[in-house]
Structure 1
């Protein structure tokens, strides 16, 4: 009964903290979004409760399991988007040169599709096919890619092409893409400087985390009898696990740059 009570409390806390509520979607999508994190949380809860002899530690570790599962899924599912984002800078640079040579948008897309690597090359070829079959405008298709990959810069390309077609033609598009390329390079420099700035604190926090994990595991194995016989000591061990989980989550957030879109 105690086990079920603590399990329900853990589930309620995670739902309140992370707001991962089910939506109308496919079974596969539901399992990926909620099933896998829930399973990870349950396994972490069981392992933490058994190893550290208290459900308090299990609850803390369950929250860590949930977050890790969500972050791993997000990283895996965004692989294609990351590839496109890396290639987009090369596309913008080459398209700027092609527009400066007074090429039209279909010509620019066709030439770029011949030397760009996957997956963006296939997307550009599909644009050309859809343009021929349906007459869809290129800004519409670039906006669609922006929404699919969650890349705002792709939407900026669409707006630049749309505005250039109305105002100044190929040269105006080239100037807009040139400014976009400069902004993308500045963003890369900001990210590089940010990661250099957080590298030392992250390494220091990682070393402290390793020491704390080693100490807590040592307490739960070598000195296990002390914590079994002393309820207060067991509770303090559970709180110590909570500190370790908090530090782990802090390191994860430290490695993110939410203000620059990462």
Structure 2
């Protein structure tokens, strides 16, 4: 295992699965990611071992390692493996990252990938029942470096900031200034932006001289919505 992923100190062999959910199937998924241009070994290692099928309803588990997004309820989706890998790779940036903020816990799969790579993850979600389910999955996998909050994702989690990196798994019409404000100097924000007809993935870097925005590639995500659904305090 790579040095960064080994730091998670987790026995992933207990979750190998079988058939369409086996470690062998995950390795084929990772081979496809490499062919799609993903080359960060830490990201590839994490996605080899983290059992994506556990973050879906059992009826959809056999599709977990296909390169498609999948429904998780509440009109939300689990992003396709490529986009999970691509966004995580963009977070790296060749620098030390201790604190990551995730906007949109969703199923908890993206959360798991970054929790296996970085020391501390803060994740916010507007739909309480989704985050409750994700938290239970993380507990089952002994992923203990994650803190949770139910809130409007556009506001982030300012009281816990600043963050070395922020990843947003839903698309606002424009980049929220509140999220840029919560980046530390040298921090990176990876975020899809646009409406349901056209979206792009952006990398935003906060430097000592200002903010640099880089267009990465086209994307398609569920929209970032305001408000909360059945708010629960954790």
TM-score normalised by L of structure 1: 0.23
Q: Which structure has greater helix proportion? A: 1
Between the two structures, name the one with larger relative contact order (CA 8 Å, sep ≥ 6).
1
Structure with the higher fraction of residues in strand conformation: 2
Larger Rg computed on CA atoms = 1
TM-score (norm 2): 0.25
